């Protein structure tokens, strides 16, 4: 990371009065904080790492500068070399901004095989932190298990499919896959369906001395719907179309989509197209039918939800909810540790590598890392806002906003972007974010977002603040 890039990132954080998912400010001027290891661990466990800047007071939103750079760097190096579970090699940058000297430390991402990177004196799991939005927090037990489960050795979709047998696999379906995939055909695999080929594809593996389906193999290539057998009953997509803008409104259509994963993608996609508005528009000299949302964006998000859901969670469904003004697609399981909403476009990571690879062979998945770009591009072409993403402890949600929101202006978009980072804003925060904008204009922007149902008001009087409604 260059000094110019660092300065630009610092100034952006100051402009919006907030730290970022990959940026943290420390007021420290003469020494490093005792708990600095928490930030180091969080950034090391984050995809792409992160930047800690000493000499910036976040509360005052001001650059204060550093006085004892040599001692600070020496103590930081001791932490990196001796106290962390993996020896990290950070980049130190001494930078002058507005006549004051700051210390910027660019922390690299820890190699995946050594995650989570933790503070050795505290140990696991308490010594491991992750980045969530613009804050660092200790990993939960579930997240710690996710680190283990997403390693190559313990990948869940390559584990044994309990209760399934080798003859439950449809060799006809595997043959179709091999015919479709030129790469697999070039390996000499076409039309030779034996255990060695199936094992190479990850469809079966040796368990207790015999070949049995993997979880991924069973979910994609089962002869019968996997949901007919426990514990796969809820590996389905629950689709609901509401008449209004909230779940309390009348349900117009609903279905639980079952079947193998490719069938689920196809049928869930059809459900959405059946239940969203379709109208005629003039393109050139021809009248064509156009859906309210771009089909490519819908299909990409549906495929991603089904491919990347956490299949260790068996208590709930992937969910699609169509409202009067938006479409919400939610899959069980939060983003894997190190992957955030902010780096989603660049984080080419799959919780289910075997499932992703096979459905990519079957043309259900774009090139890795391109899917979200396609969704954003198509929504822009439709004149609609970029998709919203929300990551919680147990789920990940993508939201497509409809035509009701197509007139949101640049200021209002910036407010939404910052809310996605900070979670809440007061009107006074908006004055800092939108420098030079009159208070009356900001009040008008907030009122429009509230009237549209994008934000909700909480608190009262001088304690009033806003959060996203979705």
Q: Considering the domain boundaries, does residue 144 fall inside one? A: no
Judge if 14 and 112 occupy the same domain.
Answer: yes
Judge if 303 and 374 occupy the same domain.
Answer: yes
- Going through 221-372 in order, the beta strands assigned E by DSSP cover 237-242, 251-257, 278-283, 286-291, 318-322, 326-332
For the chain, what is the total number of helices (H) and then of strands (E)? 15, 20
Q: Where are the alpha helices (DSSP H) in 127-170?
A: 141-149
Which tens digit of pLDDT belongs to each residue from 370-405?
778 899 999 999 999 989 888 877 889 999 999 999
Given 382, 405, 428, which residue is the final one in a domain?
Answer: 405
Judge if 57 and 171 occupy the same domain.
Answer: no
Q: Considering the domain boundaries, does residue 146 fall inside one? A: no
Judge if 420 and 372 occupy the same domain.
Answer: no
pLDDT at 143: 78
Under 8 Å CB-to-CB from 54, ≥6 apart: which residues?
Answer: 26, 28, 29, 32, 66, 72, 102, 103, 104, 105
Judge if 99 and 117 occupy the same domain.
Answer: yes
| Integer Cα distance of 23 and 342 in angstroms | 12
SS3 of residue 396 by DSSP? strand
Which tens digit of pLDDT belongs to each residue from 202-215?
999 999 889 999 99
Given 227, 249, 265, which residue is the final one in a domain?
Answer: 227
Closest CA to 37 of 133, 122, 146: 122
Q: Considering only CA atoms, give the Rg of the chain.
A: 25
Judge if 164 and 22 occupy the same domain.
Answer: no
Token pair for 428: 């006074």
Judge if 384 and 318 occupy the same domain.
Answer: yes
pLDDT at 461: 85
Q: Considering the domain boundaries, does residue 399 fall inside one? A: yes
Given 353, 371, 405, which residue is the final one in a domain?
Answer: 405
pLDDT at 64: 93
Q: Considering the domain boundaries, does residue 147 fall inside one? A: no
Q: Considering the domain boundaries, does residue 145 fall inside one? A: no
Judge if 93 and 47 occupy the same domain.
Answer: yes
SS3 of residue 99 by DSSP? coil
What CATH number is given to the structural domain containing 426? 1.10.10.10
Q: Considering the domain boundaries, does residue 232 fall inside one? A: no
pLDDT at 153: 47
| Integer Cα distance of 432 and 450 in angstroms | 20
Judge if 357 and 303 occupy the same domain.
Answer: yes
pLDDT at 189: 47
pLDDT at 154: 53
Q: What is the pLDDT along the chain (470 residues), one digit of tens a residue?
A: 899 999 999 999 999 999 999 999 999 888 999 999 999 999 999 999 999 999 999 888 899 999 989 999 999 999 999 999 899 999 999 999 989 999 999 999 998 878 889 899 988 778 999 999 899 999 987 777 677 656 554 578 999 999 999 999 999 999 888 887 755 555 544 567 899 999 999 999 999 889 999 999 999 999 999 999 999 999 999 999 999 998 999 999 999 999 999 999 999 999 999 999 988 777 677 777 889 999 999 999 999 999 999 998 999 999 999 999 999 999 998 876 556 677 676 655 667 889 999 999 998 886 555 778 899 999 999 999 989 888 877 889 999 999 999 889 989 988 988 887 788 999 999 999 999 999 999 999 999 999 998 999 999 888 999 998 88
C-beta neighbour count of 175 within 10 angstroms? 16
| Integer Cα distance of 384 and 381 in angstroms | 8
Q: Considering the domain boundaries, does residue 148 fall inside one? A: no
Supply the pTM of this predicted model: 0.70
| Integer Cα distance of 362 and 378 in angstroms | 22
Judge if 355 and 417 occupy the same domain.
Answer: no
What CATH number is given to the structural domain containing 330? 3.30.565.60
Question: How many structural domains does the chain have?
Answer: 4
Token pair for 73: 């760097």
Closest CA to 450 of 399, 423, 416: 416
Judge if 307 and 455 occupy the same domain.
Answer: no
pLDDT at 136: 94
Which tens digit of pLDDT belongs to each residue from 243-279?
999 899 999 999 999 999 999 999 999 999 999 998 8
Closest CA to 453 of 410, 392, 399, 391: 399
Query: What residues make up the domain containing 187?
Result: 153-227
């Amino acid at each position: 990371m260059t000094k110019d890039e660092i300065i630009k990132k610092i100034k952006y954080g100051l402009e919006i009065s907030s730290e970022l998912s990959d940026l943290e400010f420390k007021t420290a001027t003469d020494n490093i904080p005792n708990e600095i290891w928490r930030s180091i661990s969080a950034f090391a466990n984050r995809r792409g790492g992160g930047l800690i800047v000493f000499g910036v007071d976040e509360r005052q939103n001001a650059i204060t500068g550093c006085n004892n750079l040599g001692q600070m760097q020496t103590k930081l190096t001791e932490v990196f070399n001796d106290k962390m579970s993996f020896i990290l090699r950070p980049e130190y940058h001494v930078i002058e901004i507005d006549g004051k000297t700051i210390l910027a430390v660019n922390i690299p991402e820890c190699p995946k095989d050594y995650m989570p990177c933790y503070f050795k004196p505290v140990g696991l799991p308490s010594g491991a932190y992750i980045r969530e939005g613009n804050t660092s927090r200790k990993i939960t037990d579930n997240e710690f298990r996710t680190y283990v489960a997403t390693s190559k050795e313990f990948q869940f979709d390559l584990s044994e499919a309990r209760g399934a047998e080798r003859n439950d696999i449809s060799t006809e379906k595997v043959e179709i896959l091999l015919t479709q995939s030129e790469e697999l055909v070039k390996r000499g695999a076409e039309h030779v369906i034996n255990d060695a080929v199936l094992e190479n594809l990850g469809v079966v593996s040796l368990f207790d001395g015999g070949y049995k389906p993997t979880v991924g193999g069973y979910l994609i290539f089962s002869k019968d719907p996997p949901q007919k057998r426990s514990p796969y009953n809820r590996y389905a997509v629950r689709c609901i179309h509401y008449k209004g803008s909230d779940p309390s409104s009348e349900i117009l259509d609903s279905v639980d989509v079952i079947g193998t994963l490719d069938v689920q993608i196809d049928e869930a996609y059809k459900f959405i197209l059946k239940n969203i508005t379709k109208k005629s528009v003039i393109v050139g000299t021809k009248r064509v039918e156009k859906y309210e949302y771009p089909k490519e964006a819908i299909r990409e998000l549906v495929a991603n939800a089904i491919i990347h859901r956490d299949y260790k969670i068996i208590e709930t469904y992937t969910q699609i909810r169509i409202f009067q003004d938006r479409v919400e697609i939610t899959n069980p399981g939060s983003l894997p540790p190190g992957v955030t909403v902010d780096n989603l476009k660049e984080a080419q990571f799959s919780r289910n590598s075997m499932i992703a690879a096979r459905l990519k062979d079957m043309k259900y998945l774009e090139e890795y890392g391109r899917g979200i770009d396609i969704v954003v591009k198509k929504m822009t072409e439709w004149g609609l806002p970029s998709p919203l993403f929300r990551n919680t402890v147990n789920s990940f949600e993508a939201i497509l906003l409809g035509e009701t929101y197509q007139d949101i202006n640049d200021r209002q978009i910036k407010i939404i972007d910052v809310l996605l980072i900070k979670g809440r804003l007061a009107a006074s925060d908006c004055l800092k974010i939108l420098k030079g904008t009159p208070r009356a204009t900001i009040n008008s922007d907030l009122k429009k977002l509230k009237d549209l149902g994008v934000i909700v008001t909480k608190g009262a009087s001088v304690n009033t603040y806003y959060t996203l409604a979705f």
